[in-house]
Structure 1
Amino acid sequence: RASGPASASQSRIKIGAKMDGTITAMQATLHYEAGAFQGSPMGPGCMTVFTPYDVENLYVEGFDVVVNKPKVAAYRAPGAPQSEFAAEMAVNELAKKIGMDPIEFRLKNAAKEGTQTIYGPKLKVVGLVACLEAAKSSPHYNAPIPENVGRGLAAGFWFNIGGQSSVIINLNPDGTGTIIEGSPDIGGSRASMQMMAAEILGVAPSSLNPIVADTEHVAYNQTTGGSRTTFATGMAVVEAAEDIVEQLKARAAAMWNVTAEQVDFTDGVAHNLSGEDQLTLAEICASAEKTGGQISGRANINARGAGPSFAVHICDIKVDKETGKTDVVRYTAIQDAGKAIHPSYVEGQFQGGAVQGIGWALNEEYVYSKDGIMENAGFLDYRIPLASDLPEIEAIIVEVPNSFHPFGVRGVGETGIIPPLAAVGTAVAEAIGQPISSLPCSPPKILKLLMAAH
């Protein structure tokens, strides 16, 4: 009752290309279910559908359709998986028709710095080409395709957002500290805040305690969403830490009777540039009572310049042609993170997005009665992937820094759910020798396709 389903959709894609692989035009008509009231994620679907491609002629129509079903709600990268599934399936079909490798086809038409997006801005430096090259040289793509297995590949794009974030960093007399931020941690972001602050202050991350607080303790933060937290709140953490560095220099200058301009601060140590004196961060904090009181830094920002993120996924699927059952044999997720602050958490985001997308592509489906009542409102009837269903998701982190962030961060949370739909759909199509035009690729649907073919 507190949420709702992702938006069901119908998409029609037309793509024109020369026989040398140059895409000349792309057209999409996208219909998104809103539920009983208007407001589907049709907008982001239109924004993202063709953004992985540098094509001069683009035309996209989007329709927000009210139907007798529950109101839809946001679901990871809302609107993008639906439209990009249709576009990527068409791209794969076209590459096959003209006899080009799907990676080479995408490399020939890939979005890059200067590409004009359909939703407005020209792209800055982005990592799609680097992701495609990483896929091309990956062990997975170069491995032979096993018997009775289909292989699929797809790209994905999410624009990411910035927004308002507020942070306070308080230092203690012993040199430890507390990072107070207002972005709920749903993917490991506290550790990333800890690491960014520690990098600026030149201390061990373990000496800083990150706390997610409410607006009684820290100023307003926008929600954790839009792949914004490590980018925007991380930027606020960096600014608050830099505020502290300036204060540390001023305190050290007061202790040495020099100006702050005569003090340098590197690797957690203040250096007197007019002499040989040094003070550690902990030593300055220990004397804070004598130099003006305890030390706190703060930042209240509205972050701009969220770097968009691209991903490329490769999927191998085996299909039992007697039952229609599908098994994911191998899966690789490649994505541009800008800079992976905490690499293992970044890999976790890649893997989590891939698993959600695989579930969407293979099994997950709401079943409604003619009266708009959901008939499979439980996990016995609504099948999501289990750890035992899948191989390890191989993650390859590509780092093409976002120049608008001090450490080059791009949001990574949402892009990973977008490529799996078409990667899985293409793999299933290759395995059964029949086109896939709708999801999920559940056993009854696969059997129906196989029976129709024979």
Structure 2
Amino acid sequence: NGRIEGYDVVVNRPKTSAYRAPGSPAAAFCIETVIDELAEKIGMDPVDFRLLNSAKEGTRRVTGPTMPLVGFIETLEAVKNHPHYSAPKDGKHRGRGVATGFWGNNTGPSSAVATVNPDGTVNLAEGSPDIGGTRSSVSLQLAEVLGIPVEDVHPQVVDTDSIGFTSNTGGSSVTFKTGFAAYTAAQHIKQQLIERAAKRWDVSTDDVEYTDGIAQHKSDPELKLTFKQIAAIQVPTGGPIVGSAGVNPPGAGPALAAHVVDVEVDVDTGKVEIVRYTAFQDVGKAIHPSYVEGQIQGGVVQGIGWALNEEYFINDNGHMVNSSFLDYRMPVSLDLPMIDTVIVEIANPNHPFGVRGVGEVCICPPMAAISNAIYDAIGTRINELPMKPGTILEALGKI
């Protein structure tokens, strides 16, 4: 059961706009700290409590829709079985916190055009601006269908006049929707490759199959042509080979994450140090694992900044007075340990490669996880952000 009340509050502050998973981190901060309080009241392990109440396929969300296939249970089980969760908390005033997060992910119309060059490379034009490595993740999907090295795919984000309509880059949508467009364009090319090989051998297209970058006659193994060989003869066999697609795929598939963090609190200064951090996330299928890891780590660091340091200082005239990077305190590498990641892959059935967006849900759990860890360390709940030294000392009754 749930009840949601929303308020539109007008304040004399600078304008706002969308920021990684807009709205969800603040909601997770409230909900996930309360969940920890409930688990403590009944004497239950916080991960076990979440497992008992975890969403799965068919679960109805408080907003109405039912969940598609998601890997929330598998992600929580990965937390439970990871050495971090059971490791001793060495040191004075150290605490461990866990929290989860949800982001719905988005989709929309997208277009892609792929042109095969005579040397066997492919020029891929797409309309999604790359803000997180998506040129690589989209190229990988095209290369996978064609059975060619991704290094042979040359992606380019072109302007509005050069590609079909493509919705905005946002909502963790690009690897899903534009990847789907590239996949479909590659299938278009694949069919043409079969046709060119059939024409070369003077056989029916039904007698030709294309797998792993090679067109082959189904009953005559001697008849083979590689992708590069067909590319080289495309002009005499019918002209340029171009694949194109315009798609609007449904079923982006929501993302779920769980984070575990260890902190150490200096009770004399109020400073909170992040000692260890492990982020677990159902990514559907990690198309480019190191980029997926980078997205998760980036979201975690942004969340840590929001939890401990980042805030606006506004004067009486409504002007922000710490609007430079000198005064606006964001975490840097010296503030943090290595952010460890655990990639859980529960394929999204609505995408040919199982893709679900990964770039936003990773910012949702950090504030709540750190708050729960601080409580574990000092026995006092902090219910406001950022949880800066002054706030910690005030909660401890030292100022």
TM over 0.5: yes
1:343 alignment counterpart? 289
**1:133-155, CA deviations, whole angstroms, 9 ceiling, x for partnerless residues?**
00001111010112320111000
Give the corresponding residue for 2:164: 219
Tell me the equivalent position of 1:428: 374
1:323 equivalenced with 2:241 (yes/no)? no
State the match for 1:236 in structure 2. 181
Q: Which string of whole-angstrom CA distances, capped at 9 and with x for unpartnered residues, describes residues 376-418 of structure 1?
A: 1112221100001000000000000000000001100000000
* Equivalent in 86, 102, 121 of residue 142 of structure 1: 86
- 1:87 aligns with 31
- 1:432 is matched by which residue type in structure 2? I
Query: Match for residue 139 of structure 2?
Result: 194
1:80-121: CA deviation from partner (whole Å, max 9, x where unpaired):
111111000100111111100000000000000100112332
SS at match of 1:395: strand
**Which whole-Å deviations, capped at 9, do the CAs of 1:317-345 have from their partners, x for residues lacking one?**
11111111111000000000000000010
User: Residue in 2 aligned with 1:159?
Assistant: 104
Shift of 1:274: 4.3
Q: 1:209 aligns with which of 133, 143, 154?
A: 154
**What is the deviation of 1:193?**
1.6
% same residue:
53
Could you tell me which amino acid in structure 1 is paired with residue 253 of structure 2?
A: G
Distance 1:240 1:70 in 2: 44
Alignment partners' CA distance in 2, 1:97 and 1:329: 27
Match of 2:389 among 438, 443, 452: 443
SS at match of 1:353: helix
Mapping for residues 282-293 of structure 1, pairs under 5 Å? 282-293=228-239
Q: What residue in structure 2 maps to residue 272 of structure 1?
A: 217
Structure 1: distance between partners of 2:271 and 2:154: 48
1:406 aligned partner: 352
Q: 2:328 aligns to what?
A: 382
Please state which structure has a larger fraction of its residues in strand: 1
Match of 1:107 among 34, 51, 76: 51
| Secondary structure of the corresponding residue to residue 6 of structure 2 | strand
Distance 2:110 2:44 in 1: 46
Question: Would you say the 8 A contact 2:24–2:364 is kept in 1?
Answer: yes
Deviation string 1:325-379 (CA, Å, 9 cap, x unpaired) is 1110000000000000000100001100000000000010111123321121112
Work out whether residues 382 and 392 of structure 2, in 8 Å CA contact, stay in contact via their aligned partners in 1. Answer: no
Select the structure with the greater relative contact order (CA < 8 A; seq sep ≥ 6).
2
Question: Is 103-112 or 246-255 further displaced after alignment?
Answer: 246-255
* 3-state SS of paired residue (1:328): strand
**What amino acid is aligned across from residue 29 of structure 2 in structure 1?**
F
Q: What corresponds to 1:176 in structure 2? A: 121
Q: Secondary structure at the match of 1:62?
A: coil
Report the number of matched residues.
397
- 1:146-186 deviations in Å (ceiling 9; x for gaps): 23201110000000011011101100112111111111111
* Cα distance in 1 for residues equivalent to 2:153 and 2:179: 14
* Farther-moved stretch of structure 1 (67-76 vs 371-380): 371-380
Shift of 1:313: 0.3
Once the two structures are overlaid, the 10-residue window that deviates more, 165-174 or 269-278, is 269-278
Mapped pair 1:396 → 2:342: yes
**Which one of the candidate residues 285, 288, 306 is aligned to 1:360?**
306
CA RMSD, 1 decimal? 1.1
TM-score by structure 2 length?
0.97
Correspondence for 1:66: 10
Verify the 8 A CA contact 2:299 2:359 in the aligned structure 1: yes
Which residue identity lines up with residue 10 of structure 2 in the other structure?
V
| Structure 1 residue ranges (4+ consecutive) displaced by more than 6 angstroms after TM superposition | none
Q: 1:309 aligns with which of 252, 255, 261?
A: 255
In structure 2, list runs of 5 or more residues that go unmatched. none
Paired position in structure 1 for 2:206: 261
**Stretch of structure 1 that moved more, 270-279 or 229-238:** 270-279
SS at match of 1:290: coil
1:120 matched to 2:64? The reply is: yes
The equivalent residue for 1:297 is 243
Would you say the 8 A contact 2:138–2:179 is kept in 1? yes
More deviation in 194-203 or 240-249? 194-203
Counterpart residue number, 1:34 = none
Equivalent AA in structure 1 for residue 353 of structure 2: F
Question: CA offset at residue 216 of structure 1?
Answer: 2.2
